[in-house]
């Protein structure tokens, strides 16, 4: 049997021996039939998040899969469209009740969350949340990370520090921006909208390029830039390159995420790194604990960040 306290230790031993010898594995179907559990966890993210070239969510998923091995769960991954419509079908494993719990990774359409809420599935979020009072969530410590990024620039003597961001309603981006503001204010530098570009649509290379262009056209003497993520930082660097502005001699730039190619750029990008595998592991632990009623639903886990200093930031001349 499986960990029933009323069984004598010797019997347990004998049983375990037989399990080994016969290479016995209990049937999940039979177990599931009586326990009304499937042993499956759903993992949902939008298609474009899954397919983007930086394997951020791929790595988060892999973390959940690693941890699932320990917890004896299987993870069923499925994608939804990022413009999920009311007429779109819900993931099959929800309709068929083939999962015990659900992990939502990254930003998903609010309409989708609304539609699945009536299924009352145990649910956890990673790298996004809508209602952190109801569901456990794993987040990057974006606020502290943003502060750290800006503090690094300040420690190099920079005073005119810019923030370039996009999709500012996204909680992660918002927090990074808040970190920027707090760091600026704590250093007794004055915060100015002048230095901030926050109205680009998506935080990608293109918007980084555009934001850098708009920023420099203001001609306000910026010497350092904190980009909301590495993609935007890369786009900004491309613009700097085009107008012959040297990084880091003329302008310093720091990103966020530590994407794969950050270290291969010229110059290699200073950034804030996070362990995406750990994010997956943590969110799997949360859902597992939730299913075992081990935690209250409001738990929040913040994943530590790490300042990675490369060559794109330098002391102000």
Distance, in Å, from the CA atom of 244 to the CA atom of 109, rounded to the nearest integer, reads: 40
Closer CB to its own copies, residue 49 or residue 158? Answer: 49
| Shortest Å distance, C-beta 233 to DNA | 51
| Shortest Å distance, C-beta 149 to its own copies | 23
Closer CB to DNA, residue 73 or residue 305? Answer: 73
| Shortest Å distance, C-beta 275 to its own copies | 13
Which entry of its own copies, DNA, none binds 38, CB below 5 to 8 A by partner kind?
Answer: its own copies
Which residues, numbered 14-53, are part of the site for DNA (CB under 7 A)? Answer: 24-27, 30-31, 33-36
149 by DSSP, 3-state: which? helix
Tell me 297's DSSP state: T
Which entry of DNA, its own copies, none binds 217, CB below 5 to 8 A by partner kind?
Answer: none
Distance, in Å, from the CA atom of 61 to the CA atom of 159, rounded to the nearest integer, reads: 40
> Which residues, in sequence order, are CB contacts of 51 under 8 Å at separation 6+?
none
Which entry of DNA, its own copies, none binds 249, CB below 5 to 8 A by partner kind?
Answer: none
Best CA proximity match to 101, nearest among 75, 126, 81, 80? 75
By rule CB under 7 A, what count of residues binds DNA?
17
191 by DSSP, 3-state: which? coil
Closer CB to its own copies, residue 28 or residue 181? Answer: 28
Which entry of DNA, its own copies, none binds 53, CB below 5 to 8 A by partner kind?
Answer: its own copies
Closer CB to DNA, residue 27 or residue 219? Answer: 27
Strand partners, 263: none
Best CA proximity match to 77, nearest among 53, 95, 58? 58
Binding site for its own copies (CB under 8 A): 25, 27-33, 38, 40, 47, 50-55, 58-59, 61-62, 65, 69, 72, 74-79, 92-93, 95-98, 205, 259-261, 264
Which among 4-12, 63-71, 160-168, 262-270 is the span making contact with DNA, rule CB under 7 A?
4-12
Distance, in Å, from the CA atom of 304 to the CA atom of 306, rounded to the nearest integer, reads: 7
Tokens of 201: 């649509």
Q: Sign of torsion, CA 204 205 206 207?
A: positive
> Which residues, in sequence order, are CB contacts of 197 under 8 Å at separation 6+?
162, 163, 164, 165, 211, 214, 215
| Shortest Å distance, C-beta 46 to its own copies | 12
Which entry of DNA, its own copies, none binds 96, CB below 5 to 8 A by partner kind?
Answer: its own copies
| Shortest Å distance, C-beta 9 to DNA | 8
Tokens of 23: 């290479």
Which entry of its own copies, DNA, none binds 128, CB below 5 to 8 A by partner kind?
Answer: none
Distance, in Å, from the CA atom of 282 to the CA atom of 301, rounded to the nearest integer, reads: 8
| Shortest Å distance, C-beta 282 to its own copies | 18
> Which residues, in sequence order, are CB contacts of 308 under 8 Å at separation 6+?
258, 262, 270, 271, 272, 273
Tokens of 274: 């996070």
Which entry of its own copies, DNA, none binds 155, CB below 5 to 8 A by partner kind?
Answer: none
Which entry of its own copies, DNA, none binds 7, CB below 5 to 8 A by partner kind?
Answer: DNA
Q: Are 79 and 45 in contact (CB under 8 A)?
A: yes
Closer CB to its own copies, residue 65 or residue 141? Answer: 65
Q: Give the binding site for DNA (CB under 7 A).
A: 1-2, 6-8, 10-11, 24-27, 30-31, 33-36
């Amino acid at each position: 049997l499986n960990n029933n306290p009323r069984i004598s230790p010797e019997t347990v031993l004998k049983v375990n021996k037989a399990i080994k010898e016969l290479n016995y594995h209990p049937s999940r179907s039979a177990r599931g039939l009586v326990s009304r559990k499937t042993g499956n966890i759903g993992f949902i993210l939008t298609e474009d998040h899954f397919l983007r070239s930086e394997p951020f969510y791929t790595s988060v998923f892999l973390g959940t899969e690693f941890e699932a091995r320990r917890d004896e769960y299987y993870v069923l991954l499925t994608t939804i469209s990022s413009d999920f419509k009311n007429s779109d079908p819900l993931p099959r494993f929800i309709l068929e009740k083939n999962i015990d719990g659900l992990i939502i990774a990254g930003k998903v359409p609010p309409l989708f969350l609304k539609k699945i809420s009536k299924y009352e599935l145990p649910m956890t979020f990673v790298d996004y949340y809508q209602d952190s009072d109801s569901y456990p969530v794993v987040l990057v410590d974006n606020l502290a990370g943003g502060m750290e990024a800006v503090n690094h620039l300040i420690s190099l003597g920079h005073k005119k520090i810019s923030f370039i961001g996009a999709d500012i309603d996204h909680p992660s981006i918002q927090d990074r921006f808040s970190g920027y503001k707090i760091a600026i204010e704590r250093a007794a530098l004055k915060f100015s909208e002048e230095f901030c570009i926050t109205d680009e649509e998506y935080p990608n290379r293109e918007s980084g390029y555009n934001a850098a262009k708009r920023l420099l056209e203001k001609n306000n003497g910026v010497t350092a830039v904190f980009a909301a993520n590495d993609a935007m930082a890369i786009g900004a660097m491309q613009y700097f390159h085009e107008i012959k502005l040297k990084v880091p001699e003329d302008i310093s730039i720091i990103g966020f995420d530590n994407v794969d190619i950050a270290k291969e750029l010229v110059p290699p990008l200073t950034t804030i790194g996070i362990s995406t595998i750990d994010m997956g592991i943590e969110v799997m632990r949360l859902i597992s604990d939730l299913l075992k009623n081990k935690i209250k639903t409001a738990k929040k886990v913040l994943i530590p960040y790490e300042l990675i200093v490369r060559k794109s930031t330098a002391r102000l001349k």
